[in-house]
């Protein structure tokens, strides 16, 4: 799978889907892929946060989690 940004979160794999966060066209976003890496959907969250450390990646690195019953959650903090 090809990702648009410099870095992404730790992926969450659940029910043959992959969820992660990362920058897309200057905005932070949540991305979903099937098990083969084919994009399923993406939800933009707003302007991309400035990197806290320029060489390591973007600031869209909050990792998604699940409640074990299908709900996927992501929390960004300032």
Measured in whole angstroms, the distance separating CA 58 from the mean position of its chain's CA atoms is: 11
The pLDDT tens digits for 8-47 are 788 888 888 998 888 888 888 888 999 999 999 998 888 8
Domain that holds residue 28: 1-60
Whether 68 is covered by a domain: the verdict is no
Whether 43 is covered by a domain: the verdict is yes
Separation in Å, CA 12 to CA 15, 44, 55, 72, 78:
10, 18, 24, 9, 22
- Contact by Cβ (8 Å): 21, 29: yes
Whether 29 is covered by a domain: the verdict is yes
CA 74 – CA 64 distance, rounded (Å): 5
Whether 72 is covered by a domain: the verdict is no
Helix (H) or strand (E) holding 45: strand 39-47
More confident residue, 13 or 63: 13
User: How many domains does the chain divide into?
Assistant: 1
Whether 52 is covered by a domain: the verdict is yes
Whether 69 is covered by a domain: the verdict is no
Whether 35 is covered by a domain: the verdict is yes
Q: Is the pLDDT at 78 greater than 50, yes or no?
A: no
Whether 77 is covered by a domain: the verdict is no
């Amino acid at each position: 799978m090809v990702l648009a940004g410099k870095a992404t979160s730790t992926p969450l794999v659940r029910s043959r889907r992959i969820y992660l966060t990362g920058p897309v066209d200057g905005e932070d976003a949540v991305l979903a892929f099937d098990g083969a890496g084919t994009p399923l959907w993406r939800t933009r969250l707003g302007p991309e946060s400035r990197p806290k450390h320029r060489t390591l990646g973007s600031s869209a690195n909050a990792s998604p989690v699940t409640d074990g019953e299908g709900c996927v959650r992501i929390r960004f903090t300032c």
